[in-house]
Structures are given as C-alpha cells and as structure tokens.
Amino acid sequence: MMESYIAVLTKGICQSEENGSFLSRDFDGRKAYLAGSIKDIVSQFGMETVILHTALMLKKRIVVYHPKIEAVQEFTRTLPALVWHRQDWTILHSYMHLHAEELEGLQMCTGYIAGFVELEVSNRPDLYDVFVNLAD
C-alpha cells in the first residue's frame, strides 16, 4: 500500500496487475469541492445570491452557520463556484471552530469562506463581512 502511495506521490502513476493503473492527472482535486450546485443556492437565496457573489468578487469575509456540519460543508464547498473564473479554492475553510489558534490563522486571510456549527460566531462581527445563517 505504501509503495503504491509513494509511486502516485512521486511519479503521478501507480500500476498493479490486480487493479490496473491509476493516473493522478485524471482526478482534478477541485471537483472534490463541488458537493452542491449553484442552482440550489440561487433557488434558496434568490436575489440575495447577488450579495454572496459580490462579496466573493470583492474578496470579502463570508461566515456560514448551520448546526449540522453536513449542511455547512455542502454550502461552503459550492460558494467558490460563484467565482469559478478565479479557480481559487484556498479561500475555503469549510469547518472551523471558535478556538483562538484557528481564528488567528483565519484572520490573516484577506477574504475567505468559513463554516461554523457554533451559533456564537454571529456575535463575532470582527470575523465576517457577510454572515449566512443557513438554519434560518
């Protein structure tokens, strides 16, 4: 197993008689972020989607809250697709905690999308320019 992993990591290919070959270039890592669809966001938020799009275009700080981690991750993973032309998935922090060390790293970023399951984040306006409460 380790030999196969190292082969993919160093050469980008792994071949075995049992499983055939695996080419890392055939798997785009950005597709992992496409858990949801933009169509769902537009149907859920309507004209308010423009606020999200504008915030992303201006590289603002977006914080998303929902008590269920699955909902937070699906929504946050879809948001960078609103500015697909940038191809920048580094702005995504799909699951954060209100711990000092995590927030310190987050505040060093100029613009980001951060997901939280703790409602206390709504009392921290220093963390966001746009707050999305998916539960409401």
pTM above 0.85, yes or no: no
| Annotation: CATH topology of 35-133 | Rossmann fold (3.40.50)
Quick one: pLDDT at residue 29? 64
Q: What is the mean pLDDT of the chain?
A: 87
Q: Which long-range contacts (CB under 8 A, 24 or more apart) does 90-95 make?
A: 91/59, 92/33, 95/69
Domain spans, the chain: 1-30, 35-133
Q: 7: number of CA atoms within 13 Å, CB side?
A: 11
How do residues 11-48 score in pLDDT, each as one tens digit?
888 877 777 777 777 776 666 656 578 888 899 999 99
User: Over the stretch 53-81, which tens digit does the pLDDT of each residue have?
Assistant: 999 999 999 999 999 999 999 899 889 88
